[in-house]
């Protein structure tokens, strides 16, 4: 009887140990293993690069001097045809990039009809038309850089640069483009004048520049006079580029304009100048080995 009682007691103890100790321990180990595997899975996902359709540096605020379009899987300029207006390919520029000094405006990337910079000011420079012409307005940082550039040309080389045309609204560009069509024909106008929304002048980062040596005209001859030569060789020091350089219409879609300077910031302007590329190739990088 005592043996049977002892046996039942031992069985009862083992069942108690199994229920209260072994089973909870097994369940705890299962949960712990599951948690570890879950954390490893999340960490693996976080390590994968995030693919965005267009990429660059992410900061696109007013002090930005980095690419305007967001780096992984970024296309190159060869993936686009910037030389023609293809209605199926035109993209309206996202509001997040409008304040970047590197906002790309061309025959593919378009500004909205109601876009106008909020920090337009009148640079204190000489006007080709005389007096304070309101169409010389630029975004403030670009305006101050233009003043520095004009002053440097005068101090360093005794050259006098004149401002012709800065900010232009969507409607003003519409009128200008129509004027070119009426006077030069449609095909010529498409090469010489941007359609409304596709003009860099609407960004407030552009100034057309001339001099007395070319009778205050916007002409290719400007590239051969001392003022134009100095501008071409020194604009990058102040954050400007010759936006439509000679022989690059196949990339920009616009004929040579030695008078059209565009503010992009000193870092970007210096890189573009030293590598002899255009803005499209800076935003959508040149494939390795193709920079001239």
Show which residues are catalytic: 257
Q: Are 282 and 271 in contact (CB under 8 A)?
A: yes
Q: For residue 173, what is the DSSP state?
A: H
CA 126 to chain centre: 29
Residue the block writes with tokens 């999340």: 42
What residues does 241 pair with on adjacent strands? 262
Q: Are 77 and 284 in contact (CB under 8 A)?
A: yes
Distance CA(238)–CA(148), nearest Å, equals: 7
CA-to-CA dists, residue 148 to 141, 144, 214, 289, angstroms: 11, 6, 22, 35
Range list of H helices, the chain:
2-17, 23-47, 140-157, 170-184, 186-192, 226-234, 249-252, 266-274, 279-283
Q: Yes or no: say if 235 and 149 are a contact pair by the CB < 8 Å rule.
A: yes
Q: The tokens 């007096």 sit on which residue? A: 131
Q: In 3D, which of 107, 106, 282 has the Cα closest to residue 206?
A: 106
Q: Smallest Cα–Cα separation from 149: which of 65, 242, 279?
A: 242
Q: Is the dihedral of CA 129, 131, 135, 139 positive or negative?
A: positive
């Amino acid at each position: 009887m005592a043996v049977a009682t002892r046996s039942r007691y031992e069985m009862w103890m083992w069942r108690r140990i199994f229920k209260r100790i072994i089973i909870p321990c097994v369940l705890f180990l299962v949960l712990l293993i599951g948690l570890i595997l879950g954390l490893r899975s999340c960490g693996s996902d976080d390590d994968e690069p995030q693919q965005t359709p267009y990429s660059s540096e992410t900061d696109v605020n007013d002090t930005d001097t980095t690419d305007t379009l967001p780096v992984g899987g970024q296309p190159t300029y060869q993936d686009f045809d910037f030389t023609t207006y293809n209605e199926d390919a035109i993209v309206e520029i996202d509001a997040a990039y409008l304040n970047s000094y590197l906002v790309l405006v061309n025959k593919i990337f378009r500004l909205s009809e109601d876009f106008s910079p909020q920090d337009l000011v009148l640079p204190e420079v000489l006007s080709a038309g005389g007096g304070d012409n309101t169409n010389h307005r630029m975004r403030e940082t670009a305006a101050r850089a233009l003043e520095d550039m004009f002053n440097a040309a005068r101090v360093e080389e005794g050259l006098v640069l004149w401002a012709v045309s800065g900010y232009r609204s969507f409607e003003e560009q519409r009128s200008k483009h129509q004027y070119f069509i009426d006077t030069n024909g449609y095909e010529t106008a498409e090469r010489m004048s941007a359609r409304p929304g596709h003009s860099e002048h609407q960004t407030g980062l552009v100034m057309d520049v001339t001099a007395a040596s070319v009778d205050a005209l916007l002409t290719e001859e400007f590239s051969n006079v001392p003022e134009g030569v100095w501008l071409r060789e020194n604009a990058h020091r102040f954050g400007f580029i010759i936006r439509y350089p000679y022989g690059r219409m196949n990339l920009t879609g616009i004929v040579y304009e030695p008078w059209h300077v565009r503010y992009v910031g000193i870092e970007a302007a210096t890189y573009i100048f030293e590598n002899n590329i255009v803005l499209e190739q800076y935003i959508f990088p040149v494939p390795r080995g193709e920079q001239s």
